[in-house]
Every structure is written in C-alpha cells, then in structure tokens.
Structure 1
Amino acid sequence: MDWLNDFTPHPTLSSDPLPALMLTHLKSWGIISLIGNDAKSYLQGQVTCDVVQLPQDQSTFGAHCDAKGKVWAAFRLFHHQAGYALFEPKSAIEKQLAELKKYAIFSKVDIIESHDILLGLFGEQAQAMIDSLTTTGGDVRQLNNGGSAVKIDEQRWLLVLDPQAAETLVNQIEALKVEEALWRLYDIQAALPIIEQVEQNEHIPQAINLQALNGISFKKGCYTGQETVARAKYRGINKRAMYIVKGHTDSDIGEETSLERAVGENWRGAGKLMAYYRFNDGETLGLVVLPNNLEAETALRLASQPQATWTIQALPYSLDDDE
C-alpha cells in the first residue's frame, strides 16, 4: 500500500494558521469490532457508557474498566457494519481485547480487531467535504462504499474504510495529506483522553474526565468496575483529573515525559504526559492527570528540561458531573 506513504510532516509554528482541509492516516489508532445478536447486551455489561440508548447516527465516549474500576481503554463507540466499533489507540488494543473477550464465550458475539483503514479528515472545511461525500445527516454516517464517517468535533471526522475504498479516497480528495501528529494536537486542545498501553489500569474514568465528556452513564445497569465509578461520583473519592498543560521545550521530549510541580521552593513528581504536541518554535502542549485540587497557577516543569516553566491551561469543558 504505497499510497499510505503520501502523508508527510507539516511543520508549523504556534502562531501559524492550520490548513483549511487536511487528511491523515491514523496509523497509531485502531478499532475493536463487535458483531452478533448479543453484541449490544454484552457490551452494555462491560463498559461505562449506555450502549442500549445509543442512536444509529450518534457516537459516545466510554471506558472499559477492570474490576477495580481502572481503565483498560477509553474509546469512542459507534454503530458500524451491523455491529459496534470502539475507536481507540492501537497500543491499548491487545490487552483490552483479551479482557473484553473473557466472558464472550457465553454470548453470541464476535469480537475482533478490525483491519479497516482509519483516516482523519480535519480542518475548517472538513464538514463541507463530509456533506459532499454523504447523503444523510447525523454525527455517524454510512458511506456509499460501506464505510463509516464519524464526527469527532466541529472540525474533525473519522473515516473507517476498507483498504480499496481508502486508497480511492486518498487519491481523489483535494486535501493536504499530513502525518497524524496534527490530529493529536486537536485531541489535546479538545482535552480528549488518550489511553495508550503505558497508561492502562492507571486511572479511574473520572480521572480522565469521562464524566465531563458524557462517557459515563450512572443510570444504566451493572458493568465491570461500576462500584468504584459510582463511589467516585457519590462519595467524592476521586482526587484526580486530566488537564491541558503548556510549556517550552528545546528539543523533542521523546519518552522523557515526567512532569514536576512546585511545592514552595521544592519540586515534586506530578505525573507523566499521556500525549503531547511540539510546535517548531518549541511551544509544547500536553495532557496530564494531576491532583484535582491544585491551584490553577501551580508551576510545572518537565523533569528532563527543568529550565522552562509549564502552566495549566483552561479546559474546553466543565468537570462537573451532574448526571
């Protein structure tokens, strides 16, 4: 599939406007597919979101937890090809898939990692392009080639296509073909949780703000980890939340993602960046789970580059969970 090599880096400064229409191959993302007569009921008993109430033309955030309420995966769930699809980082799929299949032997459901190609269409002209490719409305639309288009936010759509349909679209569409780093920038700016393999079983759903993203139903029936999730809401036991942070880096961070926070004249460990994006001028944005009682003015720094101070940024949504 040589056409997948058409996606190239798009260097940008923090002050630069982004292109109006971009297309990227989401190679670090994947999909778990559930198909079968019991797919709905089985998934309903496994995840935090309400699968039963999900309309065909909508998607929802959700999480799959272990028995202690720690997150195996945070995903976007939607109807796809007579079943359901969970869109999440590819690195999380191996462990989560094994956990999700544990009790499936007793249900009529096939649970597999999909081989569909995932493309991201984004920019201020993305909505108009999607409207030209589809004949229906809604935030989840079926494409003529059998794929799905899923709205992520006002400027982003996920396209789930078989390889032939994906190749045709990439060759025909009038959009700047970029590597997926810019897609991650949009995720960070929108404060959407990104649980990679290294973050699995580290956080409860509220610590990654899923209640603020309508990814937890407190009205549905039982599911794995529900007791912990309910206690976090009704007894206030959750002491952490996910924040956007901004700072300057002299070079790429790589795997040195540990942040420290100022405590008087000293510095203490605060957490690790779960995702970040570095502009060409060194300005860097990231997502990190921190204590939720920190003052907004708390100074942070990257442990590997302590010369620059980082700051906590305003979230694009409220952390209240009033459901």
Structure 2
Amino acid sequence: MSATSSVSLNLPSLAWTLLPDWQAIAVTGADSKSYLQGQVTCDVVQLDAEHSTLGAHCDAKGKIWSLFRLFHHNQGYALWQHKSGIETALQEIKKYSVFSKVDLELSSQISIGVLGEQADSFIDSITDGRGDVRSITSGSAIKIDSQRWLLLLDEGELDNLKQQLQGAEEISADNWDYIDVVSGIPRVTQSQQNTHIPQTLNLQVLGGVSFEKGCYTGQETVARAKYRGTNKKVMRLLQGSANENTAFTFERQVGENWRGAGEAIAQYRNQQGEALALIVLNKDIEFDTQFRLAEDSNSAWSLVELPYDLEE
C-alpha cells in the first residue's frame, strides 16, 4: 500500500528566509548561450527570459558535477545551486571556456527565499513583469513553485527588501529544505559529486534533461540510460524520525538482516524529530521495505510516494 508524507509544514501566509547554503555561478559573455548549450543537460537555446529550468553539468561518463536551476540573469545566466561543492562545479564547467567568449565566476550575490500563499502577490508588488523570472534591483526574482520565490540580489539591497517585507515573518531556511524534499527536488552536494547520472536523481522527470538538443558533455550516457534502459536506480522519498545531529545514512532490512542503503541526497527534520529524506535506491525495491538510520537502530523509516510519476 502506497503512502504519502504525513510530515506537514505550517507556513505563514508570507515569510522570508536567507538561504546561506545556496549560491550561483554567473555566466556572461557573447558565447554564454552556446557554451552552456554544449555543457549542460537542459536546453539553453530554448529557454526564454521569463522561465527557469533545472539542469545538470556532467563529466564525460554522464556523472553529475553540479545540479542547478538555470535562468537569465544580469545580461547573462545564473546557475543557482547548493554551495557545497560549488568551487569544484565551477572548475569543471569552465574547463573549456578558454576557447569561447564566455566568463564564468562565483556570484557574490545573496539568496533570499520568499514563501507562503501571499508570495506571488508580494513579488507582483515589487516587480513590473508577470513571468516566472523577473528583474529586480541588482538581480532577479525566480518562481520556484506555487509557494516559493527565490531572490538573487546584491547584499546591499537586503535592508531595502526587509522594509518591503514588513509584516512578513522571518523563518528558518529549513523550511525551504522541507519543500524541496517533499517535492522530490534533488540537489548535489560535495559528497555526492561525480556519483549519479541525471536519471538516478529523477532529473528527466523534472524537466531538467532535454533529449532533443544537440551534444553536450556526458550526453551519450544519458541518452543510453533512456533509450536502452541501462539506469537501474531512482531517487525515492523516505519518512521517519531522527535525533538532532544524527547523520542521514541509511540501512534497509533484508530478511532478518540489515544492509547499507546509502546517504541521503537531501533531508529535513523538524523540532519534534519527524524527518524526511531523499535517497537513491534500486528501481525494483519493494515499497514496504523497512529502513533505519545507521547510527540509530531503533529508528523506523519507510517509503512514501513522491508527488510525481517516476516513469518518463
């Protein structure tokens, strides 16, 4: 019997949070579009200025160096991603940039999340456009989902933004993590770099892989996984309990024994100890398989449904 997550989040109608664990790689220059098109899994040529897309940059064998949200930003592009491992991600994606008129560098801009059912109306009040990506002073506002916007802007604009957000509640960045996890949105941190192909993290289901665009680094492996069915793993959602500071490394039950199941891709824990985690597992794993934390043999974890179909 399938189940959905029972860990809920009670967001204020309008809230905001600093997102210090996130950063962008800024891409500018005359060849920025064509350079990125030959490097990443998503279709940069088809991406208009009013939309964003998930995407990944892989090595020649299709293993992901970085997983990001890509959008037009400040006369170029931004690849917004988890900060852990971003220096390596930058080194890898700029490796061939010397042959093109393109500059890639770590952005110094800060990331702010605006959340809640009034997030849309607040963004409407401070912007002129109505697209999912809009220009703001020194930066961009990017719609993530029905209750979240990302603001990428200069740190000097923060005080002005706080004035505009008067009446909104400042909340923990953990709330952003919760929505990512329960929505099945993957991330690649330093410990997971060069480990997974895009399909292992469900990226093709989330619109982050184009199978119609031309060649890019790792494309042969990604295409083979789709058309020959060579990928045997997917990302799943687990629910259970966790003590504070417990590592999210899992074991799964096999008969009367327990075997290693891997490290969480992303996780969330509330003050009551209720927790969620995204983890890569074999496609054919039984839905009623029981899990536990490697550091806590008394913890009980089980699979719950993702909000999307894993079939392409």
Instruction: Give distance in 1, aligned partners of 2:29 and 2:122.
Output: 33
Please name the residue that 1:266 is paired with: 257
Instruction: Give distance in 2, aligned partners of 1:202 and 1:252.
Output: 27
Please name the residue that 2:157 is paired with: 165
CA shift for structure 1 position 278: 1.1
CA shift for structure 1 position 125: 1.3
Please name the residue that 2:219 is paired with: 226
Matched ranges for 1:146-295 at <5 A: 146-174=138-166, 175-249=168-242, 251-254=243-246, 256-295=247-286
- 3-state SS of paired residue (1:211): coil
Is 1:115 aligned to 2:108, yes or no? yes
Please name the residue that 1:137 is paired with: 130
Is 1:318 aligned to 2:298, yes or no? no
Instruction: Give distance in 1, aligned partners of 2:19 and 2:132.
Output: 19
CA shift for structure 1 position 146: 3.2
Residue identity matched to 2:106? E
Please name the residue that 1:9 is paired with: none
* Aligned partner (choices 69, 72, 76) of residue 76 of structure 1: 69
CA shift for structure 1 position 60: 0.4
Please name the residue that 2:120 is paired with: 127
Please name the residue that 1:65 is paired with: 58
Instruction: Give distance in 2, aligned partners of 1:165 and 1:258.
Output: 39
Please name the residue that 1:10 is paired with: none
Mean CA deviation greater in 307-316 or 38-47: 307-316
CA pair 90-293 structure 1, distance change in 2 beyond 3 A = same
Q: Write the deviation string for residues 247-282 of structure 1: whole angstroms up to 9, x where unpaired.
A: 012x2144x221111111111111111221111221
Please name the residue that 1:307 is paired with: 298
Mean CA deviation greater in 102-111 or 122-131: 122-131
Residue identity matched to 2:30? N
CA shift for structure 1 position 17: 2.4
Q: 2:251, 2:294 within 8 Å by CA — same for their partners in 1?
A: yes
Q: Write the deviation string for residues 11-60 of structure 1: whole angstroms up to 9, x where unpaired.
A: xx956622221111110000001000000000000000000000110000
* Aligned partner (choices 1, 18, 28) of residue 25 of structure 1: 18
Deviating beyond 2 angstroms after TM superposition, the runs of 4 or more aligned structure 1 residues are 13-18
Instruction: Give distance in 1, aligned partners of 2:155 and 2:300.
Output: 45
Instruction: Give distance in 1, aligned partners of 2:10 and 2:92.
Output: 42
Instruction: Give distance in 2, aligned partners of 1:273 and 1:14.
Output: 17
Instruction: Give distance in 2, aligned partners of 1:80 and 1:303.
Output: 42
Structure 1: 5+ residue runs without aligned partners? 1-12
Is 1:100 aligned to 2:98, yes or no? no
CA pair 134-198 structure 1, distance change in 2 beyond 3 A = same
Q: 2:52, 2:70 within 8 Å by CA — same for their partners in 1?
A: yes
Instruction: Give distance in 2, aligned partners of 1:16 and 1:203.
Output: 29
Q: 2:265, 2:277 within 8 Å by CA — same for their partners in 1?
A: yes
CA pair 142-291 structure 1, distance change in 2 beyond 3 A = same
Is 1:91 aligned to 2:84, yes or no? yes
Q: 1:14, 1:281 within 8 Å by CA — same for their partners in 2?
A: no
Matched ranges for 1:43-58 at <5 A: 43-58=36-51
Q: 2:11, 2:115 within 8 Å by CA — same for their partners in 1?
A: no
Q: Write the deviation string for residues 266-317 of structure 1: whole angstroms up to 9, x where unpaired.
A: 1111111122111122111111111111111111111111112201111111
Please give the TM-score of this superposition, normalised by the length of structure 1.
Answer: 0.92
CA pair 217-15 structure 1, distance change in 2 beyond 3 A = closer
Q: 2:237, 2:306 within 8 Å by CA — same for their partners in 1?
A: yes
Q: Write the deviation string for residues 167-226 of structure 1: whole angstroms up to 9, x where unpaired.
A: 210243131112211111111011100111111011000000001001000111110001
Residue identity matched to 1:259? F
